[in-house]
Amino acid sequence: MKFDTPAGTNPIDQEKVVAQPHARIEGPLKVTGQATYAAEYREPRNAAHGYVLGSGIARGKIKHIDVSRAEAAPGVLLVLTHHKTPWTNLESPVPQQYEHSPHLVNEEVNYYGEAVAFVVAETFEQARHAAHLIEIEYDTIDADFVLADVMNEGKAPPGNPDSVVGDFDGAFRDAPVKVDVTYTTPDQSQSPMEPHASIAEWQGEQLTLYTSNQMVHWVRRGLSKTFHMAQQDIRIVSRYVGGGFGSKLNFYADAVLSALAAKELGRPVKTVLQRPLIYNHTTHRPATIQRVRLAADREGHLLAVGHDTFTGDLPGGDGENASDQTKLLYAGPNRLIRTRLSELHLPPGGSMRAPGEAVGLLALECAMDELAEQLHLDPLELRIRNDIQHDPEKGPKRPYSSRKLVKALREGAERFGWSTRHPTPGQVREGEWLIGLGVASAFRKNLVQPSGAKVRLEKGGKLTVETQMTDIGTGSYTILGQVAAEMLGLRLEDVTVKLGDSDFPKASGSGGSFGANSSTTGLYYACEELRKIISEAFGYDPNTTEFKNGEVWSGNHCTLLAKASSKGAIEAEGNVTWGELTEKFVQASFGAHFAEVGVNAYTGETRIRRLLSVASAGRILNPVTARSQCLGGMTMGVGAALMEELHVDDRYGLFINHDLAEYHVPVHADIPALDVLFLDELDDKSSPLKAKGVGELGICGVGAAVANAMYNASGVRIRDYPLTLDKVLAGWEAAH
């Protein structure tokens, strides 16, 4: 079914189950250890253990590799190098990507941590020991690891042309009030708790891969291309994912080499990436250098909006596009928005929660505060004055499907007590703590993907849902169960949801905040088809039939739903593709973040005291799981502001803080009680559910609100993230 006209009234609008605060239906399995994660499957018996050996250089060639000692080590079953793979002697290696991902291709090394050998043994310890017996000599090639060194060599990425509207240079030059500031964000790691892991098993020519991945169909498609085999001969199972945040959109050496080794050995192979390779072999968020230029008249109306993003990645990579939200968030007749991508030889860049906006707003929303200060205008009011109800580039012909940014700002300000903010930095103090308030707008584009599902009414009247959709801790099991229950007039406990298996209909997967809206829409259409089958079986008109309380009603006639499947289960399948509504209307989720921080007047230490997020994201399918998503995003936003940074060893091109001890993320002591407010909203241009993405909205702008509050408290404006205490102290020292 193509969704190409705005949604009308439908069964979801009853909100008897949908939009109600249900706890996660899979929660008891997780807290009792019964949820099976990638490395825990028992189905493949007698699994051998794989160990990926990563490169010790960033760029060059393997001059010589000796695996004889490893092969002779106790318990070793197989050692693979580029001499022993089906991809040997390809003209050039293919970068890590969604489509095709061979490993051990040839002697070339493209980044530190790239797989250079793979050892399989009876135990993990034996495989690890043997891997470190492998002797490798490299010829190194000069490499670039620092973005600032190569930023001027950057080019516009394919498919991302410059956005030019009006006369930016002239408007900026002539404007009475303006700021021209540069913000930098570091490389960051998604750093999921659950490591990337895979178990591969062959039965004849059929491959089953149990893995930790956000996108089942992407892995299946990619392995099909990698191994030159039909997709129907590959089964991917990813029932539970212990966090991904974008790093598990791709698939890596654990999946590919486990499958290759299992085929050769004729027995299952399990591989769990060791923690340092999670940072140096899988993807990360690339660093950015962002120049933001804003100019306004003396009343605070934007006249010129400029945002240049410089980023870097391996050849063929995308870097971090941090300027996209600036194209859409605020008014301004003259605009110049550009991205420049340079070649770096760090581990591969990739998506990290809310790619683009998460770091783009760190710069834009702080620059807005700097402009407000120049104007002597409340930063909240500056944002409100520059609200716009249509695409700033394409004009009124492309309006927003819904936009409640101003409402989010105003209601958030009232709830947070924004009126108590002192406009002059450093004026509020409690003991040794300087106190400040900050605000930032939240924006995340509303993405949608094709998605499908199958529903089956079992004998006895229970309902089963099957779809490839994954649950990465976001509540997919629960919201899909709610939608199915609403559509068929059942209780949530009467629905069984099965996810993360490529034997089920292809679904959107989890990523980009498109998962909930897309997958529930595919399920909606499957349920709609099942409703039609059941109605016609009872002789009812499908257009007027009502499903409620386990019964099917047509006027005054009522039949038990269970009767429809009394002679055997009946099933239906549905899917969604998307029409032109996403082009006719700007679709995005909006919100506002408010922060109160304390900065120690002697040490420069920053502590979060309060955070509030106001979210406008269409129908909230489940306020419990949605709130949890916002809390997670807010926590990641605090991390991006205050502590998250991958440190590059510029001798070898690796991320040196490659473990959970040294890659700092917020812990419980860093996070106070958080507050989330959802605005009532239905977006009928988005989907039949009238929902939009909410998970990543929670991170977009949080770090900027923290940074603005830090400035309000301390009087130090830091433009180099993360905002650590040494930078606060340096600012104070420079001021005196």
Active centre residues (catalytic): 696
Distances (CA, A) of 415 to 46, 597, 611, 694: 58, 17, 11, 20
* Distance from C-alpha of 537 to C-alpha of 64, rounded to nearest angstrom: 71
Q: 474: which DSSP letter?
A: S
Distances (CA, A) of 562 to 170, 556, 578: 71, 18, 33
Neighbour-count burial of 251, counting CB atoms closer than 10 A to its CB (0-12 exposed, 13-18 middle, 19+ buried): buried
Contact (Cβ atoms closer than 8 angstroms) between residue 92 and residue 108: yes
**In the beta sheet, which residues pair with residue 302?**
296
* Distance from C-alpha of 596 to C-alpha of 436, rounded to nearest angstrom: 6
Q: 708-719: buried (b, 16+ CB within 10 Å) or exposed (e) per residue?
A: bbbbbbbbbbbb
Nearest to 97 by CA among 196, 12, 203, 223: 223
Beta strand 433-445 with 588-600 is: antiparallel
Beta strand 234-237 with 206-211 is: parallel
Q: 326: which DSSP letter?
A: G
**What is the residue type of 12?**
I
* Distance from C-alpha of 677 to C-alpha of 294, rounded to nearest angstrom: 30
Q: Which helix (H) or strand (E) holds 72?
A: none
Q: Write the secondary structure of 173-205 as one string of H (helix), E (strand) and C (coil).
A: HHCCEEEEEEEEECCECCCCCCCCEEEEEEECC
Q: Which distant-in-sequence residues (6+ apart) come within 8 Å of 208 by Cβ?
A: 44, 200, 201, 202, 234, 235, 237
* Distance from C-alpha of 649 to C-alpha of 660, rounded to nearest angstrom: 18
Beta carbons within 10 angstroms of residue 556's beta carbon: 5
